[in-house]
Copies of this chain bind each other. A is one copy, B any other.
Amino acid sequence: MRISYRDVKAEILNRIRSNTWPLGTNLPGEIELAKEFGCARATMNRAMRDLVDDGILERKRKAGTKVKQSPVRQAQFSISIVREEVEQAGSVYSYSLIERELIPAPAWLRERIKVAKDAPILHLKCMHYSGKNPYQFEDRWINLDVVPAAREFDFEDVGPNEWLIQQIPFSTGELVFSATNAPESIARFLKAPVDTALFSVERTTWLEDKSVTYAQLYFARDHKMTTYI
């Protein structure tokens, strides 16, 4: 019976699972293994390549192939446009501005983003909806030194998230995930009881050494953010 590369993969995985080949084990060479498994070398090669692609095995130039240890993976994260998030979920997006004010940056914000003490900063509060349901409450600060055009923009019809992404690039972003018991001022807009656990993301972006914007986003109750690694 001809042994397929799928059989070979399954047997390699069996040996890893059963601890015959614990994590970090250096595997025998391809030729030797093909002999042991009774398969063609090309079959062994295909199976091992597949397992390298899957992140199970790892190839070192001189050291041969080994079973990979404590994997660190990349997750795709975008500074996403909330409109697209909602629309991709098959729902109708809408937006409304709650408040827009030009004020001197408060001290806690000046510790977080670099702005001059008396420089006015643009503060916006807005709501994003998915169909008729609240989707996200956005509390946004924009550094007018870096984004002077925001001073003239009214944000009545287009939200700061969408506007900024089309307006200005960023070089570094920080994302902070946490949970917050909804205060009354936010619960009201998200139509949730006070103290409901809300999933929250703080986003700070920089353009080189200058802070562009800081936003705290509160998602409606039961929101889940999924990513794959």
Which A residues have a C-beta under 8 Å from some C-beta of B?
9, 13, 16-19, 22-23, 54-56, 67-68, 70-79, 81, 146-149, 165-181, 195-200, 207-208, 222-229
Contacts and interface: CB of A to CB of B under 8 A. Distances in A.
Count of this chain's copies in the oligomeric assembly: 2
A168 B16 contact: yes
Given A173-B229, A198-B179, A228-B174, A148 B17 contact: yes
Given A72-B76, A74-B76, A222-B178, A147 B17 contact: yes
A208 to B, nearest CB: 6
Contact of A169 (B18, B23, B76, B148): B23
Nearest to A203: B229
Contacts of A227: 77, 174-175, 177
7 contacts: A19-B149, A23-B167, A73-B78, A75-B75, A75-B77, A79-B229, A199-B199
Contact of A199 (B72, B172, B173, B179): B179
Contacts of A76: 72, 74-75
Given A181-B196, A222-B178, A169 B55 contact: yes
Nearest to A70: B165
B228 A173 contact: yes
A81 to B, nearest CB: 7
